[in-house]
Amino acid sequence: MKIFVIELYEDDPEKSTGRKMVRFGFAKYTEKPRGIVLNPLSEEVISIDDIEIVNKYGISVIDSSWNKSDAKFYARFMSRFSRRLPLLFAGNPINYAKPYKLSSLEAISASLYILNFVDISLKLLSLYKWGKTFYDLNRELLESYRGKHKDEIIEIEKSFFKEEPQQ
């Protein structure tokens, strides 16, 4: 499994989840996007349909600060292989329970889970104490997205917003 980190040096080096993935040998640095590029601006959702690209070329995450990045910034990384994640909630202490505001590690881990690489996904999460929190918070969603095609994932995501609160 080829995992790449596009490091932009915006985060505190001690808190950078991208750097930690590299330090522990799970990922390598790259200056340009390779394979599937996780990008929150993409209209395409990551799905099992991307498995061949990931197997052949890998997956890249842009390791930047949510506070310093805007739409113009992410637009620089748009390509035909850009993908966004479906609805998931951050488990990290900085953005805890915020939808879509995942750390680089959470984004890669979730992508791998959706692509059926569950073992490596969980190994990545084990690098942080809050990794279990992310998994527990999103277990049901991750399982429902796992191995699904993009149209199915979009329907699952939409249905989450349609659910009526239980009384």
State yes or no: 100 annotated in a binding site.
yes
Beta bridge partners of 45: 84
Residue with tokens 């890249």: 60
Q: Per the annotation, does 85 bind a ligand?
A: yes
121, 52 contact by CB (below 8 A): no
59 among annotated binding-site residues: no
How many CB atoms lie under 10 A from the CB of residue 25?
A: 7
Q: How far apart are CA 138 and CA 23, in angstroms?
A: 26
Flag whether 133 is marked binding.
no
Residue 142 labelled as part of a binding site: no
Q: Indicate the annotated binding residues.
A: 17, 62, 85, 100, 104
Point out the annotated binding site for S-adenosyl-L-methionine.
Answer: 17, 62, 85, 100, 104
